[in-house]
C-alpha cells in the first residue's frame, strides 16, 4: 500500500517529464504544456495540479529565457499563466469520467481556449496590432499557424500522457501497489 505522501507521484512524474520536453528544441508551440495542465487537473487534487503545473511552467519559462536570451516574465504572463490555470481547472472535470472522446474534446477545447485567450492578450498588450476590429482580426489570422502546432502537440502529448498513465497505473497495480487519485 502506498503512503499518502507519494500517492500522486506517478502523475507528478509525468508532468515533470512533459515539462522537460518543453525545454528541448521543438517547432513553435508544439509543446505538451496544455496537455500537462489538463492531465494534472484530471489526476491530481486541484491545489497540487495548480502548484505543480504552474511551477513547472515558471521553471521552464525561466530556463528558456536564460537559454534564449529573452525575458522570462512580462505583462503577457498574466494571460499565459491564467490560461494554464483555467486548463488545470477544466481538467478537474475529467476526474470522474476521462473517456477517450471526452478527454480528446477537452484537449481540443483547452487548445482552442488557450489560443483565443493568449492571443487576445497579444492584441491587447503587445502593441503589435492596432486596437481596431481589423487589428483584432489580423492578430488571430497571424496566430493560426501557432494554433495548428498547439493542437497537434496537445493531442499527441495528451494521448501519450493519459494512455501511458492508465497503462502504468495497471502495471503498478499488478505489482501490488495502489495508485490513488483519478
We report the CATH number of the domain holding residue 115 as 1.10.1760
**Which cell is 175 given?**
505489482
Residue 39 belongs to some domain of the structure: yes
Percent of the chain with pLDDT over 70: 91
Give the chain's mean pLDDT.
Answer: 87
Q: Which domain holds residue 144?
A: 4-174
Residue 180 belongs to some domain of the structure: no
Task: Say yes or no to pLDDT of 12 above 90.
Answer: no
Residue 97 belongs to some domain of the structure: yes
Q: What is the pLDDT of residues 68-77, one digit of tens each?
A: 898 989 998 9
CB 4 within 8 A of CB 178: no
Rg of the chain over Cα atoms, rounded to whole angstroms, equals 17
Residue 173 CB burial class (10 angstroms; 0-12, 13-18, ≥19): exposed
Model pLDDT, residue 105: 96
CB 55 within 8 A of CB 17: no
CA separation for the pair 78, 50 (Å, rounded): 15
CA separation for the pair 30, 133 (Å, rounded): 29
Residue 181 belongs to some domain of the structure: no
pTM: 0.85
What DSSP state is assigned to residue 4? G
Q: What is the pLDDT of residues 113-154, one digit of tens each?
A: 999 999 999 999 999 999 999 999 999 999 999 999 999 999
Residue 179 belongs to some domain of the structure: no
Total count of domains within the chain? 1
Instruction: Grade residue 2 by pLDDT with cuts at 50, 70 and 90.
Output: very low
Amino acid at each position: 500500500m502506498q503512503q499518502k505522501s507519494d500517492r500522486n507521484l506517478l502523475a507528478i512524474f509525468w508532468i515533470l517529464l512533459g515539462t522537460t520536453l518543453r525545454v528541448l528544441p521543438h517547432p513553435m508551440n508544439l509543446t505538451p504544456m496544455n496537455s500537462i495542465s489538463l492531465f494534472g487537473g484530471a489526476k491530481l487534487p486541484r491545489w497540487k495540479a495548480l502548484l505543480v503545473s504552474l511551477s513547472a511552467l515558471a521553471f521552464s519559462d525561466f530556463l528558456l529565457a536564460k537559454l534564449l536570451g529573452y525575458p522570462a516574465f512580462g505583462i503577457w504572463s498574466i494571460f499565459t499563466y491564467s490560461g494554464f490555470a483555467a486548463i488545470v481547472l477544466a481538467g478537474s472535470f475529467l476526474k470522474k469520467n476521462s473517456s477517450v472522446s471526452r478527454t480528446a474534446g477537452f484537449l481540443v477545447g483547452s487548445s482552442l481556449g488557450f489560443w483565443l485567450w493568449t492571443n487576445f492578450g497579444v492584441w491587447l498588450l503587445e502593441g503589435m496590432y492596432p486596437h481596431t476590429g481589423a487589428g483584432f482580426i489580423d492578430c488571430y489570422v497571424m496566430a493560426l499557424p501557432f494554433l495548428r502546432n498547439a493542437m497537434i502537440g496537445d493531442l499527441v502529448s495528451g494521448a501519450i500522457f493519459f494512455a501511458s498513465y492508465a497503462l502504468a497505473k495497471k502495471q503498478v497495480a499488478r505489482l501490488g501497489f495502489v495508485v490513488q487519485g483519478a
